[in-house]
Amino acid sequence: MNNLLLVEPDYILGNEYKTGLERAGWNVIIAKSAQSAITAADKVYPDIVILEIQLIEHSGIEFLYEFRSYPEWQQIPVIIQTQVPPSEFFESWDLLKNELGVVSYLYKPHVNLKKLISTANSYIAIKM
Amino acid sequence: MGRNIKDEGEFSILSQQLLLSIAEELKMPLIQIARLSENNRANELKNEITNTVIQETASSALRLIDNYILGVRLTLEPQNFEIEAVSVSSVLYDAGQQLEAIAKNYGVELELNIAGKFGPVSANKQGLQAALVSLGAALIEALPALDNCQLKLHLATHRSRYGVVAGVYADTKQISAQALKTGRKLQLSSRQPLMNLTHSSGAGVFIADAILKAMDLSLMASRHHSLYGIGTVLNPNHQLQLIP
């Protein structure tokens, strides 16, 4: 099974995404904060990261800078799935894509589990 | 009672910033309901549990709207909301009852610390209860996302030299006067003004703030034994001591 690190601060949503993604064959590790996400990534080498950027204390962007500073994590695809609308990303998208290796942006209110799963699957072939 | 709306300035419950923050806040329960329903369709065994979670998620969104509406009415029609002799213990008990289901949804334990005789205080019961429920719900949603924090929320009251304090408390230093001060400042410009406390827009905290302001009370950081929290200081009501 491939490991998916889900950085999601909301307890209910975290559980629901985990349920859906596990049903699709992923091994899901949930982290609620930027700090716990770094710790989790260190313990379980993730094959992909799904990241909410609106977190408590340190934002998802701060997490990304820290995450990408480690050579072994520089090639791991990161999908941003957030409640922050696309209009607020317009100016920073180039930075996120080119410097921080974000492969996809998903706006949470418009993305169902099916779309989330197909996006994650498109970057990694699932090992069952 | 009641404050002049002009005095409220841009931090009023009527402000566009608060409305924006409520709109942001309401996205969350709607996304939760959508994802819960989606999973529910795929797993029939979970139906009953999920239906309960969906029901309470919808209720908590409706409660947020109702509390906002109450804040607006308290501000616009203060004459319709009398200041009365209120039992803090009973208000906290009722607030706890309202928060029980949402706490369960978030895996948070609720504890009521109302031991002791505090006598009646002066407040509008409906307003005080709405403010405490609004605060409690905001913290219940935030606690699971905080690192190194026990998933337990205390609804508590104690006497201080300023009066009787009623509030919500947890074992995290992230709930602080500084967080509240910064949050009020950032409310005008940030989508996450209480960044050290909650991942959401913090609408519940700002609604409580506005409701309390409309009753000439204020929301402040407070300690209860070793716990950190937010609440308000209430004046003892000496006119009427005989309340149930």
**Residue A107 lies inside a defined structural domain of this protein:** yes
As a whole number, mean pLDDT of residues B106-133 equals: 93
pLDDT of residue B14: 74
The ipTM is: 0.91
The tokens for B7 are: 């005095």
Task: With H, G, I as helix, E, B as strand and everything else as coil, classify residue A48.
Answer: strand
Asked if A32's CB is within 8 angstroms of B32's CB, the reply is no
Q: Which of A31, A11, A99 is nearest to A61 (CA)?
A: A99
Chain B residues near residue A109 by CB distance under 8 angstroms: 27, 30-31
Q: Are B40 and A20 in contact (CB under 8 A)?
A: no
pLDDT in tens, B58-111: 999 999 999 999 999 999 998 899 999 999 999 999 999 999 999 999 999 999
For residue A46, pLDDT over 80 is answered with yes
Average pLDDT over residues A1-29: 96
Containing H/E element for A67?
Answer: helix A60-68
Q: Which domain holds residue A69?
A: 3-123
**B238, containing H or E segment:** none
CA dist A19 → A25, A27, A115, B41 (Å):
10, 10, 15, 12
Residue A128 falls inside a structural domain? no
Q: Which residues of B touch A12 (CB under 8 A)?
A: 32, 36, 53, 57, 105-106
Q: pLDDT-derived band of residue B11, with 50, 70 and 90 as boundaries?
A: low
Q: What domain count does chain A have?
A: 1
Confidence (pLDDT) at B45: 62
Residues in chain B whose beta carbon is closer than 8 A to a beta carbon of chain A? 24, 27-28, 30-32, 34-36, 38-39, 42-43, 53, 57, 105-107, 141-142, 144-147, 174, 191-192, 195-200
Q: What is the mean pLDDT of chain B?
A: 90
Lowest mean pLDDT among A14-23, A25-34, B31-40, B230-239: B230-239
Which residues of chain B does A52 touch, with a Cβ-Cβ cutoff of 8 Å?
199
Whether A110 maps to a domain, the answer reads yes
Which of the pair, A98 or B50, is modelled with greater confidence? A98
**Three-class SS of chain A:** CCEEEEECCCHHHHHHHHHHHHHCCCEEEEECCHHHHHHHHHHCCCCEEEECCCCCCCCHHHHHHHHHCCHHHCCCCEEEEECCCHHHCCCCHHHHHHHCCEEEEEEHHHCCHHHHHHHHHHHCCCCC
Place of tokens 């913290």: B139
Does some domain include residue A69? Answer: yes
Q: What is the CATH number of the domain that holds A64?
A: 3.40.50.2300
Instruction: Tell me how far apart the alpha carbons of residues B242 and B163 are, in angstroms, rounded to a whole number.
Output: 19
- Give yes or no for residue B40 having a pLDDT over 50: yes
Q: Where are the domains of chain B?
A: 5-234
SS3 B231: strand
pLDDT at B7 over 50: no
pLDDT of residue B42: 81
For residue B5, the model assigns a pLDDT of 47
Q: What is the mean pLDDT of residues B152-178?
A: 95
CA distances from B217 to A120, B122, B138, B211 (A): 49, 10, 19, 8
The pTM is what? 0.91
> Which pLDDT value is given to residue A45?
94
A47 and B CB contact within 8 Å: no
Q: Which CATH superfamily is domain B5-234 in?
A: Histidine kinase-like ATPase, C-terminal domain (3.30.565.10)
Contacts of A18 in chain B (CB under 8 A): none
Q: What is the pLDDT of residue B2?
A: 42
Q: Give the pLDDT of residue B213.
A: 93
Nearest to B36 among A16, A23, A52 (CB): A16
Residue B236, classed as helix, strand or coil, is: strand
- pLDDT tens, residue by residue, A56-110: 999 999 999 999 999 999 999 999 999 999 888 878 888 999 999 999 999 999 9
Mean pLDDT of chain A: 94
